[in-house]
Chain A
Amino acid sequence: MFGRDEKVSSIRLTAVQYIILVIFMILAYGLWRLQVMQSDFYAQLAEKNRIRNVPILAPRGKILDREGRTIVDNYPSFSALLLRDSSRDLNADADVIAQGLHLDAREVRERIRKFMSMPQYQPIFLKDDITPDELAFVEAHKNELPELDTIMAHRRLYPRNGFMAHLVGYVGEVTETMLNQPQFEFYNPGDVVGVSGVEKQYNQVLMGQNGSRRALVDSRGKEVGRLDETPAIPGKQLKLTVDVDLQIAAEEALEGKNGAIVAIDPRNGEILAMVSRPTFDPNDFAVRISRDEWSKLVNDDEHPLLNKAIQAQLAPGSTFKIIMSTAGLQEGIAQDMHVTCNGGASFYGRYFKCWVVAQHRTHGVVGISKAIYQSCDVFFYTLAEKLGIDRIAKYATAFGLGQKTGVDLPQEVSGVMPSEEWKIRNFKQKWYAGETISVGIGQGAVAATPIQLARAIGGIASDGVLHRPHVAFPTDLPPSIKPASAPEDEVHVPIDPQNWELITDAMTVVTSPEGTAGSAHLQGIDFGGKTGSAQTISNSLKAKLGNFGKANYKDNAWFVGVTPRRNPELVVCVLFEGGEHGQFAARVAAQVVKAYVEKQRRQPTKMAKDAGKVDVGAIWSAPDDDGDKNNGLQAGHFFLDVPKKPLPLAASAPGLQ
């Protein structure tokens, strides 16, 4: 039945064996490739699968005033976030999540897209400061939406009503463009950084370092174990040179007005108060601000986000006359100069009015001192003509005009101090001598910021020593940070003492009945200054605009004051936009000065620390019956009543109890 040809070809059977061998070689190669060649790569992937990094957010450092009172604090709040390593289709769940968290689904998808390129273990922050019912939504959907989680974070708590908002600034989420800059290389999307003010300037100090907890998770995202934990390093607290009591006084003084106040200690450059109006509430920025609110703030004509103390560059008006006087006296021109003010004078074929004609008066014969306290324009027109623009520019530049003061706040502007060279460089035009006349009274091309004027005039009153204004104590900062102020920042402009004494004496007359700001006089306080009112548009344009021009382009009122007049402890610069006359700015400044002096006088002495009676011993002489006073020396003990503690000072910035 079975023949020889019945057998199956053994060649083909052997071929099958070889085919099987080849198949097994290929499979073995497949194993070799994965397990030997790429084993590290896959081990990493496996680790990414099972290890989830849960961030532990570091609280940001508090911001304190010079006496340690809280200005900016933190409060606990919950953020909703998406974990991307939970193997769920985030885009598919976006609608449910958006609804539960009251977000826009498109916005959620956009955030998911933004995080695509980031490592898987980094969660996506969806919403900060969620409400209790949103928190409940997340808790209730732990099983259906395992990728949705919450984290407790410390949010910024800023003072109420925009108190100190411009100086302090605010925080925000680090932006994509910021992340591409070298100084942000160690930052991650979702990190909160300072965006403006001190928060931005000293972000490195204030910002802590987030920690993380590594947890073992299964494929459903359930935590099945903990591996290790890197604790968060909280941010350091930052003490500012600002005095909350003075800040409160300054904020109140400028309430309802537009403008700025800077109060500096001219002895060291410490900024004691800084206000800019209108203001904004940085608490709105502590969590993500809505697009509408943001554009409202940015597009507001009054620029509430602008810190006018360092960012408004305006014509300084008559406050510039202090610099003119210094230049004139130092150059030996002003001492014996006398002009007769008839309400104006002609220079280079053009008639320049003195402000006093508006009051149907003239200044008559004017010397330097009267020129300062009466702010006689004709005197300074003449002085400007005599000095020439380059000598004016030399002094103004020496006192810091046209340059940034270097204050430790972001986005300071430099202002403008014109000179012949400046005009050629910027306009390719020759300087006209007529322009010098306007500069003489702080008009024309001159533009200064309030902080520049405070530093310059504070410096002139302090023997020509100018410090870099600063809000942080230089010695408190870690060495890696550029110091807020250093000895080499001190500028000394030599001024003969009799010159600055003359100027400060005249400044004190300004706040007396003979001066331009008599209404700002403070009884019993050695307080002087210089008023200024600066046009915002030219007189001819204003005339053309008529009533509209008068109503909308009111003069800016300026005042720069010092107290006391010798070795001043405080210089205050007030910009009162649309204030029309310098005396209105002076009244604002007077409120700040008064608050300062009163606080100084309230300083409890050693003796007053214990309430009650204090034992005082004394020797005195009383005239004898025969009138020989040296014989009646007497001694005795007295018990003096220590006055009750004065009204309590602020315990913290408003809203930060």
Chain B
Amino acid sequence: MSRYVSYRDFDWLLIVFVLMLCGLGVMEIRSATVHTKFAGAHIKQLYWIGGGLMGMFLISLLNYQALLDKVHWMYIAAIASLMSVMVFGQKYLGARRWIKMPGGQHFQPSEWVKLILILAVAKYFADLHHRELSWSDFIKAGAMVGVPMLMVLAQPDLGTALTYIPIAIMGLFLGGVRAKQALAVLLLAGLIMPLAWHKLKPYQKDRLISFMEPEADKQGSGYQVIQSKIAVGSGGIWGGTGTQTHLSYLPVPQTDFIFAAFAEEHGFVGALGVLLLYFIVLMRLTQNAQTAPDRAGTFVVMGVVAVLSFHILVNVGMVVGFMPVTGIPLPLMSYGGSSVLFMFLALGMVMNVRMRRFVN
């Protein structure tokens, strides 16, 4: 089978757009951190991107169909790693999210679980041959995503846990969810909401309140929302000097608020350009999903599309004041190893599917 696989079939065009976004990210990280204690972060980010590219090529070599056959083992390993975080995890800023690796690196399993969930959901729905989902399929699929999600929520890491939801939704939608079932999900969500509110940590409640009413507490939790909107707004059409970013009014401008920093320095035109690049990437991915050799391939690619779209929606939505502050980074641009590696490995899966489109 591998003789049909060739790097000529690699999606080079997609890589170009992805690297453009990474490049803009590195530029902005440099600009935002140059006079701070994080100076030099952009160099580190370049290393992460390099590593990510290598990971992408490696993962594209494996046959995704073979991977899917072993996905139940991976799923078990994912659950086990999340459990080990609960037991051995490093507590940092009140949350147990990381495992300290022997090499001194910190490993955050919840990022990798995302990748495995994409595969598991793809496998599950690909194997269902019915056009319409039965209630038991529906509940099983929900549980498959729900269990690791609750475990991440318990860390607690609301932001990452939320990113699992679009994987499930995308699977259900493409798997042929019925209107009744969709309605049931919405009802259930509506019921859980008030309960969940009591479960939220005070800082999470503050974030939600400050999202609804940022003026209520200008110096406290509303601060980030207001400063982000000021940064974006003061950028105007063509961008400006970026004083919000450079005089550190904008919090963490190299990670979660990198889009705000970019929008301040490059204005509406620049920010719209970035959105356009993301849109092209997403459209190109959906196109790859359509040309996938089988159902499973389509599901894998669309899983990636779901996660990427969700990140963009939540992060950019937060920056422009449409969404509460959740701590979700902007993929490909935000500074951070886990985020960069996840994206490139996910893209590796997409390449993997694409390279095998003529296998049939």
Contacts and interface: CB of A to CB of B under 8 A. Distances in A.
B257 to A, nearest CB: 13
Contacts of B289: 8, 13
Nearest to A8: B298
Contact of B234 (A16, A46, A88): A46
Contacts of A89: 219-220
Contact of A26 (B230, B268, B322): B322
A3 B360 CA distance: 12
A39 interface: yes
A17 to B, nearest CB: 5
A46 B243 contact: yes
A16 B220 CA distance: 38
Contact of B271 (A7, A15, A31): A31
Contacts of B143: none
Given A8-B174, A34-B232, A89-B219, A27 B247 contact: no
Interface stretch (A215-223, A276-284, A359-367, A421-429): A215-223
A218 B232 contact: no
Contact of A35 (B174, B271, B309, B312): B271
Size category of the binding interface on chain B:
35 or more
Interface in A1-59: 2-3, 5-10, 12-13, 15-17, 20-21, 23-24, 26-28, 30-36, 38-39, 41-43, 45-46, 49-50
A87 interface: yes
Contact of A49 (B173, B249, B299): B249
A258 B69 CA distance: 109
A6 B268 contact: no
Interface string B305-340: 100010011001100111000000000000000000
B233 A34 contact: yes
Interface in B184-230: 219-220, 223, 226-227, 229-230
Nearest to A88: B219
Contact of B275 (A7, A28, A87): A28
A217 B321 contact: no
Nearest to B226: A45
B148 interface: no
A33 B129 contact: no
Interface stretch (B38-46, B155-163, B278-286): B278-286
Given A2-B360, A219-B247, A39 B309 contact: no
A27 B230 contact: no
B23 interface: no
Nearest to A26: B322
Contact of A42 (B170, B234, B278): B234
Q: Which of A7, A39, A41, A43 has the largest number of chain B CB atoms within 10 A? A: A39
B233 to A, nearest CB: 2
A616 interface: no
Contacts of A220: 248
A28 B272 contact: yes
Contacts of B275: 24, 27-28, 31
Given A20-B279, A34-B321, A39 B236 contact: yes
B322 A35 contact: no
Contacts of B290: 10, 13
B139 interface: no
Nearest to B229: A34
Interface string B242-277: 011001110000000000000100011001100100
A33 B271 CA distance: 13
Interface string A413-431: 0000000000000000000
A30 B322 contact: yes
B294 interface: yes
B235 interface: yes
Q: Which of B131, B286, B299 has the largest number of chain A CB atoms within 10 A? A: B286
A16 B302 contact: yes
A16 B305 contact: yes
Contacts of B286: 13, 16-17, 20
16 contacts: A8-B295, A13-B174, A16-B286, A16-B302, A24-B279, A28-B275, A30-B317, A31-B232, A31-B275, A34-B320, A35-B237, A35-B268, A35-B271, A43-B233, A46-B230, A219-B248
Given A36-B236, A216-B247, 14 more contacts: A7-B295, A8-B299, A16-B173, A16-B174, A20-B305, A23-B312, A34-B233, A35-B235, A35-B263, A36-B237, A36-B268, A89-B220, A218-B249, A219-B249
7 residue pairs, one from A and one from B, having the closest CB atoms? A42-B233, A30-B320, A46-B234, A35-B268, A218-B247, A34-B233, A39-B236
